[in-house]
Structure 1
Amino acid sequence: MSSSDDTGVSDTSQQLDEFLNDIKAKYDALENKSQVGIYGGGALAALWLSSAVIGAVNRLPLVPKVLELVGLFYTGWFVYRYLLFKSNKREL
């Protein structure tokens, strides 16, 4: 490794240390630490549930293609409505 790579790694390591110390200081300043755990657990549960729902919808044969078609039509409408003409660009 060259010295410039070592500097980049040490800068990243230093930034990570500063970030972790900042997070630790903010956590230590909290009065109700159990509430943070409850919210964090709820966020993880919501993430897992949304991932499961998206995976189930993705397995249905027609739904992904229909959603892709809807996305293409919306993109086309957006380009026509806001990006194609100069007067509409100002509106955006």
Structure 2
Amino acid sequence: MVQWDGLENKTTVVIYGGGAVVAVWLSSIVVGAINSVPLLPKVMELVGLGYTGWFVYRYLLFKSSRKELAEDIDSLKKKIAGTE
């Protein structure tokens, strides 16, 4: 509870936490609705497999593309941390 006491904006943290819970709840409703449509789950599986295949071909097969992916990830980390 020491971290909680050190927070300046407790209401913002509570609002973001509540928003995250609502987002997870809504996404579970959407996934349940998609699963209830007979053909749609199989189409979504095909889309996922296609994207996975593309990602492997684009970023993981060759050394130069793996290096590019690592650089992109490092750049994203710097943007998130605010050190760029």
TM-score by length of 1: 0.57
Q: Of 33, 37, 47, which residue of structure 1 is paired with 2:14?
A: 37
Matched length: 65
| Unmatched tracts of structure 1, length 5 or more | 1-23
Identity %: 63
1:38–1:76 Cα change, 3 Å: closer
Letter of the 1:74 partner, please give it.
Y
State the match for 1:89 in structure 2: 63
Find the aligned partners of 1:26 and 1:42 in 2 and give their Cα distance: 21
Structure (1 or 2) with the larger CA radius of gyration: 1
Aligned Cα RMSD in Å? 1.9
| Unmatched tracts of structure 2, length 5 or more | 67-84
TM-score by length of 2: 0.61
